[in-house]
Amino acid sequence: MITAKRLYSQDLDPRAYIWVPDGTNTAIAGFSYLNGNILTDPTLPIKDVKVNAQTPSVAFVHAFNCFGMTSQALVAVPFAWAQAEGNVNGQYQETTRAGLGDIRLRWTLLMLGAPSASMQEILAVKRKTIFGFSLNIQTPSGQYFSDKLINIGTHRWSFRPELALSQPISKRWLLDVYAGVWLFTPNETFFPGTADRTQEPLGTFQAHISYNINPHAWVGLNTTYYAGGISTVDATVNDDRQSNFRIGFTGVVPVGKVSSLKLAISTGAVVRSGQDFTNISIGYQTSWFRKPKR
């Protein structure tokens, strides 16, 4: 089964643990283009799969005080158009899909170095080392057909707890390092609709180095490594352990005082077993802040 969830473990998310003022709201609209080879489950009769997908999305983020610490809640809703081609039982076939993707939820807590504060309080202090935690959740909300080989949704829950360190190197340089693990619930209606598929945890590691051009514009070099994720279908263990390294670039430019444009590009640098694709995304975000108390 080919689903968008196979790509979530490979996201590159620099500056995900930044210190923002209490009460900040951010609305995001994005578009992502993906093209490349996608790993399929070894039990399926489809091989040599290539996918071309276009994914617009909207998201909302809210920052709030959580026991004196800065916390953020995010909800992101994707929609996907995908064109796939491959060999099914030795014969070339192609198909298309369009529908809602799996909704993503994320809760972030900055446990050290970023207490809940106003904009004025944040601007008045020197940047500090930040230690944070987050929980990503992928819901089984995407379009899913249990009798189809190609799907947008995953028909299962996925959870990724993650620890992060954000370390200022100077006034302009910032280093981010994350370590997490994806945990998956079973898909009990796997192809052809009656199979039970489970998957072992998938470890993920990210490192980002970014440079502030000015207070509102920055560029970054991004890397991620992910390993594990062996799957089992009806007690048959598959030979599909993943072990891949990806690299990417991110650039952010301001559009007005509280809005910005973000461009991100990533590709597989070392692919031993898994997806070898290129992803290009662009996003627009705007923020509004709680009015300071008189």
* Residue 98 in this model has a pLDDT that exceeds 90: yes
What is the domain range of residue 194? Answer: 5-288
Is 134 a member of any domain? yes
Least confident of 4-13, 130-139, 143-152, 277-286: 4-13
- Per-position b or e across 45-70, b if 16+ CB within 10 A of its CB: ebeebebebebebebebebeebeebb
Which residues, in sequence order, are CB contacts of 280 under 8 Å at separation 6+? 32, 33, 34, 263, 264, 265
CATH number at residue 171: 2.40.128.130
Q: What pLDDT, in 10s, does the model give residues 140-177?
A: 999 999 998 889 999 999 999 999 999 999 989 999 99
What CA–CA distance (Å, rounded) separates 22 from 25? 9
Is 293 a member of any domain? no
Is 30 a member of any domain? yes
What CA–CA distance (Å, rounded) separates 254 from 256? 6
Amino acid at 103: I
142: nearest Cα among 104, 100, 184, 105:
100
What CA–CA distance (Å, rounded) separates 134 from 239? 31
Is 55 a member of any domain? yes
DSSP state of 8: H
Average pLDDT for residues 31-37, to the nearest whole number?
Answer: 90
Token pair, residue 233, equals 């279908």
Total structural domains within the chain: 1
What CA–CA distance (Å, rounded) separates 43 from 40? 8
Per the prediction, the chain carries an average pLDDT of 90
Note the pLDDT of residue 6. Answer: 46
Average pLDDT for residues 266-288, to the nearest whole number?
Answer: 81
Note the pLDDT of residue 176. Answer: 98
Rounded to two decimals, the pTM is: 0.91
Average pLDDT for residues 73-80, to the nearest whole number?
Answer: 97
Q: What pLDDT, in 10s, does the model give residues 225-251?
A: 999 999 999 989 988 888 888 999 999
Average pLDDT for residues 102-126, to the nearest whole number?
Answer: 95
* Residue 182 in this model has a pLDDT that exceeds 90: yes
pLDDT band of residue 181 (cuts 50, 70, 90) is: very high
Is 138 a member of any domain? yes
Average pLDDT for residues 271-275, to the nearest whole number?
Answer: 55
pLDDT band of residue 37 (cuts 50, 70, 90) is: confident
